[in-house]
Chain A
Amino acid sequence: MRGRALPYLLVAPAVIFLTVLFFVPLVQTIALAFETRTGFGLGNFLRMEDDLNFHDAVVNTFRFVGLAVPLQLAAAMGMAMMLRHLGRGRDLVLWIWTIPLGLSDLAAGLVWLALLNDRGYIASLLFHLGLVAEPQSWLTYETPIALFAAVVIAEFWRATAIVVVILVAGLQLVPKEYAEAASVFGASPWRIFTRITLPLMKPSIQSALILRTVLAFEAFAVVIAIGGRNFPVLVSEAYNWQNFNQEPSVAAAYAVVVMCLSLLATVVWLWLLKTPAEQRA
Chain B
Amino acid sequence: MSGRRAFYLTGVVVICAWVLVPLWLLAANALGGQPVIAAWPKPWFPGALSFATMAEFLAIEGVFRAMLIGFEVAVLCTLFSVALGLPAGYALARYTFRGANAFRLMVLLTRAFPVGILALPLTVGFIRLGLYDTPLGIALMHTALALPFAVLVSASLFQAIPRELEEAAWVFGCSPIQAAYKVVMPLALPGVSAVAIFAFVISWNEVFAASVLSARNRTLTAYLLAMLSESPLTYQFAGGLLLIVPSVLFIFLVRRHLFAMWGIASR
Contacts and interface: CB of A to CB of B under 8 A. Distances in A.
Interface of A: 3-4, 6-8, 10-11, 13-15, 17-18, 21-22, 25-26, 28-29, 31-32, 79, 82, 85-86, 91, 93-107, 110-115, 117, 119-121, 123-124, 127-128, 134-135, 157, 161-162, 165-166, 168-170, 172-173, 203-204, 207-208, 210-211, 214-215, 217-218, 220-221, 224-225, 228, 235, 238-239, 242-243, 248, 251-252, 255, 258-259, 262-263, 266
A13 B25 contact: no
B207 A105 contact: yes
B106 A111 contact: no
Contact of A239 (B8, B18, B87, B211): B211
Nearest to B229: A228
B267 interface: yes
Interface residues of B, number: 97
B42 interface: yes
B258 interface: yes
A29 B121 contact: yes
B67 interface: no
Report which residue of A15, A106, A208 has the largest number of chain B beta carbons within 10 angstroms of its beta carbon.
A106
B88 interface: yes
A15 B99 CA distance: 11
Nearest to B242: A107
Contacts of A32: 120-121
Contact of A172 (B88, B115, B211, B263): B263
Interface string B203-244: 011111001100000000100110011000100110110011
A104 B205 contact: yes
Contact of B88 (A14, A165, A220, A225): A14
B87 A14 contact: yes
A6 B94 CA distance: 11
B251 A106 contact: no
Contacts of A251: 120
Given A14-B151, A22-B115, A255-B120, A110 B22 contact: no
A226 B92 CA distance: 43
Given A107-B247, A119-B38, 10 more contacts: A3-B176, A6-B95, A22-B113, A102-B247, A104-B243, A106-B221, A107-B205, A169-B260, A214-B111, A243-B212
Nearest to B114: A218
A223 B237 CA distance: 16
